[in-house]
Chains A and B, each alone.
Chain A
Amino acid sequence: MSFISDIYAYLFYFATLVLLGGLALKILQYARTPAPLKIPTTPAPTTKTGVALRMTREVVLFESLFRGNKWTWIFSWMFHFGLLLVTLRHLRYFIDPVPVPIQMIQPFGIYGGMAMVVGLAGLWARRFFVDRVRYISSRSDHLILALLVAIGASGLMMRFVLHTDIIRVKEFFAGLYNLQVVTLPADPVLLLHLLLVALLMIIFPYSKLLHAPGLFFSPTRNQVDNPRERRHIAPWAKRLEQE
Chain B
Amino acid sequence: MAKANFEVPALKEYAEIPEINPGVMAHSKPYKSKPEFQEALGFPGELVEDWQKQAINKMGDLLGRYRSLRVYLDSCVKCGACTDKCHYYLGTHDPKNMPVGRQDLLRKVYRRYFTLAGRLFPDLVGATDLTEEVLGDWYNYFHQCSQCRRCSVFCPYGIDTAEISMAAREIMDHIGIGQKYCNEIIGKVYKIGNNLGLPGPALADTLEGLEEDVFDETGVEVKYPVDQEGADILLVTPSADFFAEPHVDGLIGYGKVFHEAGVSWTLSSYASEAANFGMFIGSYDNMRRVALRIREAAIKLGVKRIVFGECGHAWRVAYSFLNTLAGPWDFLDPRYPVPQHICEFTYDLIQQGKLKIDKSQNDDMVLTYHDSCNVARASRMGDKPGGQFDIPRAIIRRVCNNFYDMDEETIRDRTFCCGGGGGLLTDDLMEVRVKGAQPRVEALNHVIQEKGVTHMAAICAICKSQFTKVLPYYGMDMDQIVSVHQLVSNALVLTGQESDDSDDAPSGEPENAAA
Would you call B323 and A43 a contact (CB within 8 A)?
no
Would you call A139 and B124 a contact (CB within 8 A)?
yes
Query: Chain B 152-179, CB within 8 Å of chain A: the 1/0 string?
Result: 1111111110010000000000000000
| Chain A contacts for B160, CB-based, 8 A | 39, 41, 220
Query: Chain A 22-55, CB within 8 Å of chain B: the 1/0 string?
Result: 0000100110011111110111111000100000
CA distance A227 to B22 in the complex (A): 40
Flag whether B31 is at the interface (Cβ < 8 A).
no
Q: Give chain B interface residues in 55-95, CB to chain A under 8 Å.
A: 63-68, 70-72, 74-85, 95
Which one of A42, A133, A214 contacts B74 once the chains associate, using CB atoms below 8 Å? A214
Would you call B67 and A236 a contact (CB within 8 A)?
no
Shortest distance between the CB of B82 and any CB in chain A (Å) = 7
Flag whether A62 is at the interface (Cβ < 8 A).
yes
Stretch at the interface among A3-11, A89-97, A124-132, A182-190: A124-132
Would you call B78 and A136 a contact (CB within 8 A)?
yes
Total contacts A to B, CB within 8 angstroms?
A: 219
Would you call B124 and A140 a contact (CB within 8 A)?
yes
CA distance A43 to B386 in the complex (A): 5
| Chain B contacts for A214, CB-based, 8 A | 71-72, 74-75, 157
Stretch at the interface among B42-50, B137-145, B374-382, B489-497: B374-382
Most chain A beta-carbon neighbours within 10 Å: one of B104, B327, B389: B327
Flag whether B474 is at the interface (Cβ < 8 A).
no
Stretch at the interface among B1-9, B115-123, B362-370: B115-123
Chain A: interface size category: 35 or more
Flag whether B296 is at the interface (Cβ < 8 A).
no
Query: Who on chain A is nearest to B162 by CB?
Result: A39
CA distance A118 to B51 in the complex (A): 48
Which one of B154, B321, B383, B389 contacts A38 once the chains associate, using CB atoms below 8 Å? B321
Flag whether B101 is at the interface (Cβ < 8 A).
yes
Would you call A231 and B156 a contact (CB within 8 A)?
no
Shortest distance between the CB of B339 and any CB in chain A (Å) = 8
Which one of B20, B285, B323, B377 contacts A42 once the chains associate, using CB atoms below 8 Å? B377
- Known contacts A135-B101, A240-B285: does B154 contact A65 (CB below 8 Å)? yes
Q: Give chain B interface residues in 292-347, CB to chain A under 8 Å.
A: 319-321, 323-324, 327-328, 337-339
Flag whether B136 is at the interface (Cβ < 8 A).
no
Would you call B124 and A143 a contact (CB within 8 A)?
yes
Most chain A beta-carbon neighbours within 10 Å: one of B81, B115, B163, B319: B81
CA distance A133 to B72 in the complex (A): 18
Flag whether A72 is at the interface (Cβ < 8 A).
yes
| Chain A contacts for B320, CB-based, 8 A | 37-39, 227
CA distance A231 to B376 in the complex (A): 21
| Chain A contacts for B95, CB-based, 8 A | 132, 135-136
Would you call B323 and A231 a contact (CB within 8 A)?
yes
CA distance A50 to B380 in the complex (A): 15
Would you call B70 and A133 a contact (CB within 8 A)?
no
Most chain A beta-carbon neighbours within 10 Å: one of B63, B85, B285, B378: B378
| Chain B contacts for A233, CB-based, 8 A | 324
Q: Top 3 closest A-B pairs, CB basis?
A: A214-B75, A68-B154, A68-B81
Chain A residues engaging chain B, CB cutoff 8 angstroms: 26, 29-30, 33-39, 41-46, 50, 58, 62, 64-65, 67-69, 72, 76, 123, 126, 130-133, 135-141, 143, 203, 206-208, 210-211, 214-215, 217-221, 225, 227-228, 230-234, 236-237, 240
